[in-house]
Amino acid sequence: MNTENNNNNDNPSAILPVQMGYNSRFKFNCHKGVKCFTKCCRGIDIMLTPYDILTMRKRLELSSEEFLAIFTELRLLEKGDLPIVTMKLLDDEQRSCPFVRDEQGCIIYEDRPTTCRYYPLGVGSLSYASEQDNADEFFFTVKEDHCLGFDEDKEWTVAEWREDQGVDLRDQVNAGWTDLIVRKKSVPQSIKLSEQTKQMFFLACYNIDKFRTFVFESTFLEKYAVDDARVEEIRNDDVKLLQFGFEWMKGVMFGEGDIKPKNAVDASQEGQEA
């Protein structure tokens, strides 16, 4: 998942992370034998991606709306003014993730969020780049005082860690959403979003069940030019529907993409014929 480097680059005394590429190497291992086991699952903000919500609610056999209501909190993204979803932590002394157990660790480990999979790596970009261009992407290690995983002997390249943790697929699925967020944050003042647009962003990106109802049980398909093959594709595939939502929001927010209102398509065709 592409995110911005959160260090304050305007402060000359700020300590910038050491930038790493896909072939950079680091030592790290996390297992039950490490004394700090599960400490990283407490007292932290876990931002959830659209694909995280999709897989976690399936694992828990909940609708997306039920999952959002029980396990998440809604926030506005700093600078970007977009709604994002974070994990709702327990109201205990350590502010624990609801899915962590002292001895067992994560009870939904196979479907854990992307943020957890990346740890102890962070990812950033030097400037805005489209979802097809990650030339400015870089990685860095997140070293917290409590973490003893860096004392282990297991060595990885960044690429090996990403593959082992299963983030490649997640980044691929979430690419359109990441592009929307990074792009909006890169031009926060020039593009003002209405409350209705923010609500549509939340619907398309996070509440997949309600978005499906919106697409297929409203006048959406009467208003937008979507070919029959794609209609059937998004009807039967949650991931395709999710990515369809990202593409639709690209048009809503920036006036780009292939999902256009039918009147705009008709006008374009008439112009070509003329």
Q: Does pLDDT of 165 surpass 50?
A: yes
3, pLDDT greater than 80: no
**What pLDDT, on a 0 to 100 scale, did the predictor assign at position 1?**
42
> Is residue 273 over pLDDT 80?
no
Query: What is the mean pLDDT of the segment spanning 146-175?
Result: 96
Tens-place pLDDT, residues 59-87: 999 999 999 999 999 999 887 789 999 99
Cα–Cα distances in angstroms (integers) from residue 67 to residues 71, 100, 117, 124, 208, in the given order: 6, 17, 20, 28, 11
Classified as helix, coil or strand, 39 is helix
pLDDT at 230 over 80: yes
What CA–CA distance (Å, rounded) separates 56 from 111? 6
Separation CA 11–CA 110 (nearest Å): 40
More confident residue, 190 or 117: 117
* Average pLDDT of the segment spanning 122-130: 67
Q: pLDDT grade, residue 7 (50/70/90)?
A: very low
Burial of 149 (0-12, 13-18, 19+ CB in 10 A): buried
pLDDT of 270: 40
Q: Which residue has the tokens 């794609």?
A: 230
pLDDT on residue 6? 40
How many residues would you count in the chain? 274
pLDDT of residue 11: 45
- Burial bucket for residue 190 (CB in 10 Å: 0-12, 13-18, 19+): exposed
Q: What is the pLDDT of residue 191?
A: 79
The mean predicted confidence, pLDDT, of the chain is: 88
Report pLDDT for 4. Answer: 40
Residue 58 in tokens:
């399936």
pLDDT at residue 187 in the model? 78
Sign of CA pseudo-dihedral 263, 269, 273, 274? positive
Distance CA 142, CA 96 (A): 19
* Cα 91-92-96 angle, rounded to 5 deg: 90
The rounded percent of the chain whose pLDDT value lies above 70 is 85
What is the mean pLDDT of the segment spanning 160-175? Answer: 96
* 241 within 8 A of 251, measured Cβ to Cβ: no
Enter the tokens of residue 232.
């059937």
